[in-house]
Amino acid sequence: MKLIILKKNLKDGLRSIERICAENPSLPILKNFLIETIDNKIKLAATNLELGITTFISGKIIENGSVTIPLNIFNSIINNLQVEKINLELKKDKLIIKTDNYQAEIQGIKKEEFPIIPQIGNIKQFIKIKNSLLKNALISAVNSATADNRPELSGILFDFQITILKLAATDTFRLSEKTIANNHFESNFDGNFKVIIPLKTIQEVIKEIQSNESQETKIYIDQNQVLFKTENTEIISRLINGEFPDYQQIIPKNIANEIILNAEELINAVKLSSVFSDKFNEIKIIINKDAKNVEIFSASQSVGENKYLVPAKIQKMAENQMEISFNWRFLLDGLKNIKSENIFLGLNDLSKPALIKSPQDESWIYILMPIKS
Amino acid sequence: MDLNQLWQTTLSEIELQISRPNFLTWFKNSSLVEKKKDGEIIIGLANNFSKEWVKNKYHKVIFEILKNYDDTIKKIEYTVIENKVSLFNNVADGFEIKQPTIPELKIDPESGLHPRYKLDSFIVGSSNELAYAASLAVIKNIGKKYNPFFIYGGTGLGKTHMIQGVGNEIKKTYKNKIKVKYVHSEKFVNEVVTAIRNKRMEDLKNKYRNIDVLIIDDIQFIGGKERSEEEFFHTFNVLYENNKQIIISSDRAPAAIPTLHERLRSRFEGGMAADITYPDYEMRLAIIKTKLAEIKGDLPDNICEIIALKVQRNIREIEGILNKILFYKEVKNVDLDPKTAEEIINNVIQQSGRKITPNQIINSVAVYFEIPISDISGQSRRKSAMEPRQIVIFLLREMLGMSYPDIGEKLGKRDHTTIIHSYEKISKEINKNHSLNQKIILLKEIINENS
């Protein structure tokens, strides 16, 4: 193998695969990545046996070949080289990196020892969606997922119903649901499906598509795998085998107290109040019927207390006064995803979850359980 | 040699030929899934990476070893069988966390069972021992002994607890090998409606026909909903013919669900029907103690006794009252004296029964027995009028605490001794005559609902 690659291209390629390449005591080769020439393209691949990432970069191929080498060593060399073009050459199992005044030899391992990255079974059907939209949808859900001991919750649900695609995630304290209508994506799937995609995979996809928001991603699904395919990169992952909770029933249908708040002010208030919140991250929202604002209050016995008045329109109020507490981190996670000027806050009983969304836009909802005060 | 043994022997030979890390990485959680008649054997591996690797690197080795033991093997196929990670983990239970979870999310999505309902926490007494014994028999012999198993009784007596408890116990005993599905009949009806609308009836059929234990709660709501009844009827038959267990609960005996089709009714009566009646004093006391332990509350014995004495009808009510008393105790931060406890209980009980009037009782009974109201206060001595009249007397006394002369006045100026006689007659009869007891329970519910 003999290649000449622009440093920028090589770095971009490495950035796509570097995060999943890690030390693995039982299979040391997993800290290596694969570099291989295929159809006049240079392929880089890495895996952690949960997901596999393959990316293609351009470069001049003088001689075909393949090898796997430790990623962190290769990465530190490339990062510190001050040249534009990098020459790579394979001699036996050694990869030689050469510039005008520098040369390094890295001991590699044969491609044959490297795990085979699986292929998706169903390549005919896919969902095509704009990166910017997909990124926002994934980010809005990713905070609510959990990495704890319930596997079916450690991922994001993709609930495809032909005319809509729903993304939902929950850690049992809160739940978020994003609905994407089919005028925002293309698809040739002919039936409904529900799959749960692991959190780690989602995080990789978000990082991958962040850099090229104007492009599109294709999502392929088969019985137990999912493939996210962008222009140059493919991320293949297992699906979580389990059933996502039937969450429709917890979305409040009747809301006793409806409040519209200014988004910026509320986010600011929550951030400020968090300074005084206790170890449970508790902040209190105090609402008075007929008032023009809502009080955000927090106190910590040893530190002090504060309150913030947020202008609000109280649309509907069942009682005269209401005090409800939330974990400010969870609250903020939800508020951050609202891009509109105002925020709709729907409260019922103190023991029932609250509903947070944008007043105009029904496509994203956030359901949060209050704290027992 | 069965498949499992064959695979274990094969694995031990493979282990000798490859390195330990490799063996652990690729063959962890592998198994022989199936051997087909034509000599094809299917090997299941933990994930797609293992599948690709084993297929490409170890196929020859595996094939040779397997052939040594069984020369009928012609071909090997590989598949991914992900280990069903224990879907339900109760690690977080027990902990007291300030941030509560959204309660509905605790329900196991696959079976629909709530982990809170355990058979261990079910208090057994004379009122439910038959149903409990039958439950245990069902758990032991799924689908064989009592099928369908039909539990009926008034609201708040523990039907849901019992059937969900059976479901959870089955899951625990058989380690998820048996597929349990709990569904409320209302949800079933909704699913049928959605399936009809989306033209996806097939999905629904498949969903319910691949289950080993189907538990349907509050089946009486299905009555009168033609299409759901029909769908349920077919599902029932398929499951029944395949010896799958069916467990049903209802607020009344199959014969007493008025809108239910004959063909369904006869099927419900075909298995075992057990009823749950009102708990006696000792049982109520035991329930209170268990509940207190569950919610980690503490109340003196004399207060528990008062609650057990006063709240007779509904266990769910006991729960409500307990919460209220504990809340009171916590907020006021004082030790409760029996008098205050009694006041709280009276408040709750009266609230629920406040609006019932004598006329409502008379009307409801007349409607139930399909006789004109005039017959109840009239002088007719026909049996069809006598029984309802006596029941009205009993209910007026029981539910409203009216005095005997008052009742006599209300029912066509009867003498109070007549009233006493009727009341005592029903009071005695109720313990002996089962169908009468059922009628009265049902009437009480109808009256409470209408008020």
Q: Which two tokens stand for residue B84?
A: 């069903």
Q: Spell out the per-residue pLDDT of chain B, length 451, in tens.
A: 688 888 998 999 998 888 888 888 898 888 888 888 888 999 999 888 999 999 988 999 999 998 888 888 888 999 888 765 544 444 444 334 567 788 777 788 788 888 888 888 888 888 888 999 999 999 998 888 888 999 998 888 888 899 999 999 998 888 778 889 999 988 888 888 888 877 777 888 888 888 899 999 998 888 778 888 888 888 888 888 888 899 999 988 888 787 777 888 888 888 888 888 888 888 888 888 888 887 777 788 888 888 888 777 777 788 888 888 887 777 777 777 778 888 878 777 765 555 678 888 888 898 888 888 888 888 888 888 888 999 999 988 888 888 888 888 888 888 889 899 999 888 888 777 878 888 888 888 888 777 6
Q: Is B81 on the interface with A (CB under 8 A)?
A: no
The tens digit of pLDDT for each residue in A21-34 reads 888 888 889 999 99
d(CA B94, CA A13): 48
Indicate the fold that domain B281-353 takes in CATH: Helicase, Ruva Protein; domain 3 (1.10.8)
Decide: helix, strand or coil at residue A65: coil
Q: Distance (Å) from the C-alpha of residue B102 to the closest C-alpha of chain A?
A: 6
Domain count, chain A: 3
Please give the DSSP secondary-structure letter assigned to residue B211: -
Chain centroid, CA B415 distance in Å: 46
Per-residue DSSP letters for B74-141? -EEEEEE------S---TTTT---SS---GGGGS-TTT---TT--STT----TTTHHHHHHHHHHHHS
- Chain B residues within an 8 Å CB radius of A225: 48
Inter-chain touch B56–A116, beta carbons under 8 Å:
yes
- Whether A185 shows a pLDDT value over 90: the answer reads yes
* 3 state SS of A187: strand
Q: Is the pLDDT of residue A206 over 90?
A: yes
Does B80 contact A at CB distance below 8 Å?
yes
Both A220 and A139 in one domain: the answer is: yes
| Residue A33 within a domain | yes
The reply to whether A183 and A277 lie within a common domain is no
Average pLDDT over residues A307-336: 92
Q: What is the distance in angstroms between the Cα of A117 and the nearest Cα belonging to chain B?
A: 6
Residue with tokens 């925020």: A343
Helices (H), B129-261: 129-140, 159-173, 185-198, 201-209, 226-241
Q: Which of B48, B101, B200 has its CB closest to that of A369?
A: B101
CB pairs under 8 A between A and B: 104
Distances (CA, A) of B123 to A275, A352, B138, B172, B279: 49, 29, 18, 19, 10
The reply to whether CATH 2.60.40.790 applies to domain B3-80 is no
Tokens, residue B263: 């063909």
Q: List CB contacts (< 8 A) between B45 and chain A.
A: none
Question: What pLDDT score was predicted for residue B352?
Answer: 54
φ, ψ of residue A311 in degrees (nearest 5) = -55, 135
Find residue A346's DSSP bridge partners: A258, A355
Count other Cβ atoms within 10 Å, centred on residue B427.
12
B197 by Cβ neighbours in 10 Å (0-12 / 13-18 / 19+) ranks as: exposed
pTM beyond cutoff 0.90: no
Could you report how far apart the first and last alpha carbons of chain A are, in Å? Answer: 66
Q: Chain A contact for B12, CB < 8 A?
A: no
Measure CB to CB from residue A241 to each of B82, B107, B109 and give the nearest one. Answer: B82
Q: In a 3-state reduction of DSSP, which class is residue A215?
A: coil
Best CATH choice for the domain B103-276 from the list 3.40.190.10, 1.10.3720.10, 3.40.50.300, 1.10.530.10: 3.40.50.300
A258 in the same domain as A241: no
Range of the domain at A159: 126-247
> What are the chain B neighbours of A327 within 8 Å (beta carbons)?
99
One domain, residues A95 and A156: no
What whole-number distance in Å separates Cα of residue B283 and Cα of residue B291? 12
Please give the pLDDT value at position A237.
95
C-beta atoms of B104 and A250 within 8 A: yes
pLDDT in tens, A263-284: 999 999 999 998 888 878 899 9
- Average pLDDT over every residue of A219-241: 93
Are A176 and A189 part of one and the same domain? Answer: yes
Q: Do A241 and B105 touch (CB under 8 A)?
A: no
CATH superfamily label, B358-450? DnaA protein, C-terminal DNA-binding domain (1.10.1750.10)
Structure token digits, residue A12:
């971009």
Indicate if A257 and A242 belong to the same structural domain: no
Other C-beta atoms closer than 10 Å to the C-beta of A107 total: 12
Q: Identify from A150, A194, A196, A326 which residue to disrupt to test chain B contact, counting B C-beta atoms within 10 A and taking the largest count.
A: A150
pLDDT tens sequence across A34-90: 999 998 999 999 999 989 999 999 999 999 999 999 999 999 999 999 999 999 999
Nearest Cα of chain B lies from the Cα of A198 at a distance, in angstroms, of 14
Task: Burial-class residue B60 by CB neighbours within 10 Å (0-12, 13-18, 19+).
Answer: exposed
The residue of A53, A146, A196, A241 whose CB has the most chain B CBs within 10 angstroms, and thus the best one to mutate to test that interface, is A241
- Kindly state whether residues A139 and A48 are assigned to the same domain: no
Residue B105 has its nearest CB partner, among A116, A118, A250, at: A250
In a domain, A121, yes or no: no
For residue A314, give the CATH number of its domain: 3.10.150.10
Q: Are B149 and B184 in contact (CB under 8 A)?
A: no
pLDDT at A62: 95
Note the pLDDT tens digit of each residue in A92-150.
899 999 998 899 999 999 999 999 999 998 999 999 999 999 999 999 999 888 777 68
Using pLDDT thresholds of 50, 70 and 90, give the confidence band for residue A309.
Answer: very high
d(CA A29, CA B25): 12
ipTM confidence: 0.79
In a domain, A88, yes or no: yes
Do A243 and A256 reside in the same domain of the chain?
A: no
**pLDDT-derived band of residue A360, with 50, 70 and 90 as boundaries?**
confident
Establish whether the linkage from the previous residue to B405 is cis, with ω within 30° of 0: no
Instruction: State how far Cα A97 lies from the chain centre.
Output: 35
Q: Which of A239, A216, A215 is nearest to A227 (CA)?
A: A239
